[in-house]
């Protein structure tokens, strides 16, 4: 939960992680390995399967998308669903009008790689049952005080987001969460036209929990996400969309091992990535290592807005003002290398406050001026 890594970055890091001297052991990880990232749900949405290859070369790694593959999903009723490669190379997507997972059914991923690649031709996952998932009971936050390192400086405020959920049937037991966060920010100057923007980020943490040893399948105050005052997420308004998934025990153990590796790896091959066994194998050569996991789960979602004042939030625009011009002469490089932040108008004397940083005068450098459809100005 504390680690912040994309899964392909995780795997790449583990492949290239090294110590002081360049020791390259003789391992099978010199070969090109297939990396699979994929999730299908019971929602009428586009599901994605991301394919890439990763190979360690000395202390560097070559990670590249795997293009031109034939990818399809087979269900336990002999249904076959072909995925189409999207405009993003190596990302294969379902058609929501043709495919939607159903709870209680099993799904198998099949991959036929391009014959020009050095990897084997055919791969498939184990049949994965789609398990039901309970709804998210509640999302809420609490203010947290962050002590300053300097004595006598008042503590600042951060925000801890918590989650509660409960499965009265007691069938779920193994949970995973991801989230997408969106926040509004505004430039603190009057002249810029693009003054208000929104940023959205997907979660890049591993959030898992099991209730297997508890008397009830209930989770209270799960610390989902912490927002520090070192970002401007809470400056204006913030929203988080949380997705909850049900796992089987094998998949839970897969994510748990990944999380432990990220937190504990410190020397070359403390735990080599191929030791984190997924659910995908090569048909022609079952001994070949395949990285990643084909996930199948029902999905429950919940959204929360935060619009409150938090003290001590960083000001990302404190260094924007760089000069002042006291005349109406033409400004060379205006809106190319120089931007106006503030200016006076007649009958006041001519004055222009300028910056050399485009991001100070145009919020689209960081975000988008398009307000999200879900954005509720009343919340």
Chain segment 302-361, per-residue pLDDT in tens: 999 999 999 889 999 999 999 999 999 999 999 999 999 999 999 999 999 999 999 999
Name beta bridge partners: 181. 201, 240
Same domain, 83 and 223: no
Nearest to 352 by CA among 327, 371, 373: 327
- Calculate Rg over the CA atoms of the chain: 25
How would residue 266 be classed by pLDDT, with cut points 50, 70 and 90?
very low
Domain final residue, candidates 244, 260, 282: 244
**Band (116; pLDDT cuts 50, 70, 90):** low
Q: Are residues 110 and 253 in the same domain?
A: yes
Q: Do residues 211 and 194 both lie within one domain?
A: yes
The answer on 95 and 31 residing in a single domain is yes
Q: Assess whether 193 and 261 both reside in one domain.
A: no
Q: Using an 8 Å Cβ cutoff, are 349 and 326 in contact?
A: yes
152 is a domain residue: yes
SS3 content of the chain, % helix, strand, coil (to 5): 10, 40, 50
Residue 308 resides in a domain = no
Computed from CA positions of residues 343, 347, 348, 351, in that sequence, does the dihedral angle turn out positive or negative?
A: positive
Tokens encoding 358: 């485009």
Q: What is the structure's pLDDT at 95?
A: 97
Q: Which tens digit of pLDDT belongs to each residue from 184-238?
A: 999 999 999 999 999 999 988 999 999 998 989 999 999 999 999 999 999 999 9
Tokens found for residue 213: 């040893």
Structure confidence at residue 275 as a pLDDT band (50, 70, 90):
low
Q: Which residue is it, tokens 């019971």?
A: 42
Strand ranges for 41-104 from DSSP E: 48-57, 60-65, 70-75, 80-82, 84-85, 91-93
Per-residue model confidence (pLDDT) at position 138: 98
H-state helical runs in the chain? 7-16, 249-264
Residues 229 and 255 occupy one common structural domain: no
Position 110 pLDDT exceeds 90: yes
Q: Are residues 49 and 185 in the same domain?
A: no
Are 222 and 210 within 8 A, CB to CB? no
Single pTM value for the model = 0.85
The SS3 of residue 88 is coil
Domain-located, residue 311 = no
pLDDT at 308: 94
Residue 13's pLDDT is 40
Q: End-to-end CA distance of the chain, in Å?
A: 28
Check whether the bond before 369 is cis (ω within 30° of 0).
no
Instruction: Let me know if residue 259 belongs to a domain.
Output: yes
Tokens at 146, concatenated:
């962050």
Per the CB < 8 A criterion, the answer to whether 273 and 265 are in contact is no
Tell me the residue range of the domain where 328 lies: 323-365
- Residue 214's Cβ-count burial label (10 Å; 0-12, 13-18, 19+) is exposed
224 within 8 A of 22, measured Cβ to Cβ? no
Q: Which of 91, 131, 134 is nearest to 107 (CA)?
A: 131
Q: Which of 224, 244, 264 is the C-terminal boundary of a domain?
A: 244
Same domain, 81 and 120: yes
Position of tokens 């990897």?
119
Q: Answer whether residue 374 is part of any domain.
A: no
148 and 221 within one domain? yes
Considering the domain boundaries, does residue 310 fall inside one? no
Crossing angle for the helix pair 7-16 and 249-264, to the nearest 10 degrees: 50
| CA–CA distance, 130 with 297 (Å, rounded to integer) | 5
Q: What are residue 308's phi and psi, to 5 degrees?
A: -140, 165
Specify the number of domains making up the chain.
3
The mean per-residue pLDDT over the stretch 134-140 comes to 98
What CA–CA distances, in Å, run from 87 to 73, 95, 200? 20, 14, 21
Assess whether 30 and 90 both reside in one domain: yes
Phi, psi of 89 (to 5 degrees): -55, 135
Cα–Cα distance measured from residue 180 to residue 164, given in angstroms and rounded to the nearest whole number = 18
Beta strand 174-186 with 122-125: parallel, antiparallel or unpaired? unpaired
| Percent above pLDDT 70 for the chain | 84
Strands 33-40 and 290-296: parallel
**274 phi and psi, to 5 degrees?**
-65, -15
Mark whether 291 and 278 lie in a shared domain: yes
How far is it, in rounded angstroms, from Cα 249 to Cα 108? 18
pLDDT digits (tens, 9 = 90+) for 4-46: 444 454 444 443 333 333 333 344 445 678 889 999 999 999 9
Specify the 3-state DSSP secondary structure of 234: coil
**Residue 313 covered by a domain:** no
Give the separation between CA 248 and CA 173, rounded to whole angstroms.
8
pLDDT at 265: 57
Domain CATH code at residue 265: 2.60.40.3780
**Has residue 240 been placed in a domain?**
yes
Task: Identify whether residues 127 and 165 lie together within a single domain.
Answer: no
Q: Are the beta carbons of 329 and 351 closer than 8 angstroms?
A: no
At 360, is the secondary structure helix, strand, or coil? helix
């Amino acid at each position: 939960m504390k680690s912040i890594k994309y899964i392909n970055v995780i795997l790449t890091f583990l492949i290239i992680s090294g110590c002081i001297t360049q020791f390259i052991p003789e391992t099978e990880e010199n070969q090109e390995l297939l990396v699979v990232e994929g999730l299908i749900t019971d929602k009428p949405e586009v599901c994605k399967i991301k394919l890439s290859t990763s190979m360690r070369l000395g202390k560097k790694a070559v990670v590249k998308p795997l293009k031109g593959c034939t990818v399809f999903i087979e269900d336990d009723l002999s249904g076959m669903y072909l995925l189409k490669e999207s405009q993003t190379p190596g990302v294969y997507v379902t058609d929501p009008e043709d495919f939607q997972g159903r709870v209680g059914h099993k799904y198998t991923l099949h991959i036929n790689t391009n014959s020009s690649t050095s990897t084997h031709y055919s791969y498939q996952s184990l049949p994965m049952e789609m398990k039901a998932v309970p709804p998210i009971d509640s999302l809420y936050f609490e203010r947290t005080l962050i002590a300053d390192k300097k004595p006598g400086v008042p503590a600042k405020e951060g925000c801890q987001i918590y989650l509660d959920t409960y499965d009265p049937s007691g069938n779920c037991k193994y949970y995973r969460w991801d989230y997408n966060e969106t926040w509004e920010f505004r430039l603190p100057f009057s002249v810029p036209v693009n003054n208000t923007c929104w940023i959205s980020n997907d979660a890049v943490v591993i959030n898992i929990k099991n209730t297997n040893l508890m008397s009830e399948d209930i989770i209270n105050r799960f610390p989902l996400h912490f927002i520090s005052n070192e970002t401007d997420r809470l400056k204006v308004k913030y929203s988080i969309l949380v997705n909850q998934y049900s796992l089987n025990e094998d998949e839970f153990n897969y994510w748990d091992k990944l999380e432990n590796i990220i937190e504990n790896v410190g020397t070359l091959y403390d735990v080599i990535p191929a030791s984190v066994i997924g659910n995908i194998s090569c048909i022609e050569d079952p001994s070949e290592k395949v990285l990643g996991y084909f996930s199948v789960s029902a999905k429950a979602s919940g959204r929360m807005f935060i619009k409150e004042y938090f003290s001590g939030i960083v000001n990302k625009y404190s260094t924007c003002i760089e000069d002042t011009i006291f005349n109406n002469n033409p400004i060379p490089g205006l809106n190319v290398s120089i931007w106006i932040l503030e200016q006076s108008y007649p009958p006041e004397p001519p004055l222009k406050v300028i910056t050399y940083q485009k991001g100070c005068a145009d919020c689209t450098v960081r975000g988008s001026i398009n307000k999200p459809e879900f954005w509720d100005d009343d919340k």
